[in-house]
Homo-oligomer: A and B are copies of this chain.
Amino acid sequence: MGKSRLEAFSDGVLAIIITIMVLEMKVPHGIGVDALSPLIPVLLSYVLSFVYLGIYWNNHHHMLHASQKVTGSMLWANLHLLFWLSLFPFATGWMGENHFAATTMALYGVVLFMAAIAYLILQQTIISSQGRDSLLKAAVGRDWKGRFSPVLYAFAIAASFLSPWIAGGIYVAVALMWLVPDRRITNVLVSKET
């Protein structure tokens, strides 16, 4: 079973998720600049989620590039990841419309947490399906970024009830940490080819 259709379907779902989020920015009825000001938190939360989904697309891209075959459990682990990513528009919209209120920040953290766990599961599923000398396993190594992120999200969920700003700061920091493309996988791939 080829991986091209798995990539195409994932690309399709990710492209739609990233795009329908913008539908939460409802066109205001007024025409003054002040009609736009309530949309600023909605725009900010959209930017954050756009970056997160961009990171997921990017890393998903690398991860599948490093895997040679596709198994039934990979298909389902992938759908499981897409499920949690599909809740981004909802969590983003709720957070943006309510100006980053505590509960909305916590829910956003829950979605981030579950997506991160789903990503780890997919990664593990791919590694175990590729056999002993998996290219991806070598590339990922100890994967401190992948394992550390859910811990930070869990901390942010708790912190959001203290101050939503701490949670927001953590979400932005983790996004920045991931923005650097996963050079580990690229490096191993390049060195294998040499």
Residues on A facing B (Cβ under 8 Å): 1-2, 5, 7-9, 11-20, 22-25, 27-29, 31-33, 35-36, 47, 50, 54, 57-58, 61-62, 65, 72, 75-76, 79, 82-83, 86-87, 89-90, 93-94, 97-98, 101-104, 107, 179, 181, 183, 186
Tell me the complex Cα distance, A131–B16, Å: 34
Name the residue of chain B whose CB is nearest to the CB of A18: B13
- The answer to whether A27 touches B90, judged by C-beta atoms less than 8 angstroms apart, is yes
Overall SS of chain A's interface: helix
Chain B residues with Cβ under 8 A from A79's Cβ?
50, 54, 57
- The answer to whether B103 touches A32, judged by C-beta atoms less than 8 angstroms apart, is yes
- The answer to whether B19 touches A9, judged by C-beta atoms less than 8 angstroms apart, is no
- The answer to whether A9 touches B57, judged by C-beta atoms less than 8 angstroms apart, is yes
Tell me the complex Cα distance, A84–B90, Å: 21
Tell me the complex Cα distance, A5–B22, Å: 23
Chain B residues with Cβ under 8 A from A16's Cβ?
12, 15-16, 19-20
Chain B residues with Cβ under 8 A from A7's Cβ?
5, 8
Chain B residues with Cβ under 8 A from A61's Cβ?
1, 5, 75
- The answer to whether A9 touches B9, judged by C-beta atoms less than 8 angstroms apart, is no
A53 CB to nearest chain B CB (Å): 9
Taking A57-B9, A83-B50, A103-B32 as contacts, is the C-beta distance between A23 and B22 under 8 angstroms? no
Q: Which 10 A-B pairs have the closest CB atoms?
A: A12-B15, A72-B181, A27-B93, A16-B19, A31-B101, A54-B79, A13-B15, A31-B98, A9-B11, A27-B94
Chain B residues with Cβ under 8 A from A8's Cβ?
7-8, 11
Tell me the complex Cα distance, A181–B65, Å: 23
- The answer to whether A33 touches B90, judged by C-beta atoms less than 8 angstroms apart, is no
Give 23 CB contacts A-B under 8 Å.
A1-B61, A5-B61, A12-B15, A13-B15, A16-B20, A19-B86, A20-B20, A20-B22, A22-B86, A22-B87, A23-B89, A25-B90, A27-B94, A31-B98, A31-B101, A31-B102, A31-B104, A35-B103, A47-B83, A50-B79, A58-B75, A72-B181, A76-B181
